[in-house]
Amino acid sequence: MKIADQTSAALTESKTETFVSYNRNDSGSVSEVARELRQRGVDVWMDESNLVPGERWQNEIASALERAVSVAVCIGRHGLGGWQKLELELALAKHPEHGKRIVPILLPDALRTLTLPPYMACDLRGLDRAAQLDNLAAVLLADIEWPARVAQPKRRAAGKA
């Protein structure tokens, strides 16, 4: 078996924890965020580090996105890119009720006037970058069954106030 086939097969068998979606024009900042998340123990899938030569990248991206438990939507100065918008649409189709966490990450150069997906963002535009990334990593590393644990109103026992 060729190395590319082995790599592709290994990626197909594994459950990717976090798919990183980004605008190609922001790849430098995004690569740094991905590196920092990996240092914190997050299993990150990013096309530029996971695709191997000769793979059909559209198929591999769709497959990685399907396997992902979380989707980190990185938004920088260039806003959402064309392919990134498609990735976000696919992720939204598998929203939290179906097991996908969607976490917008505002890169240091993100504009203040952005329109964001309807999810709480990790904001890296301030001075507390390390704390923001620590919190983000904790969220991404949390129990993957989190949608089932979403707070439900607790029923009180009959006769108790």
How many Cα atoms occupy the beta-carbon half-sphere of 60 within 13 Å?
Answer: 20
Handedness of CA 144, 36, 10, 75 (dihedral sign): positive
Return per-residue pLDDT of the chain as tens, 161 residues.
444 444 444 444 455 689 999 999 999 999 999 999 999 999 999 988 888 888 788 888 888 888 888 999 999 999 999 989 988 888 888 765 666 788 899 999 998 877 776 678 899 998 889 999 999 999 888 854 444 444 333 333 444 44
Residue type, 109: D
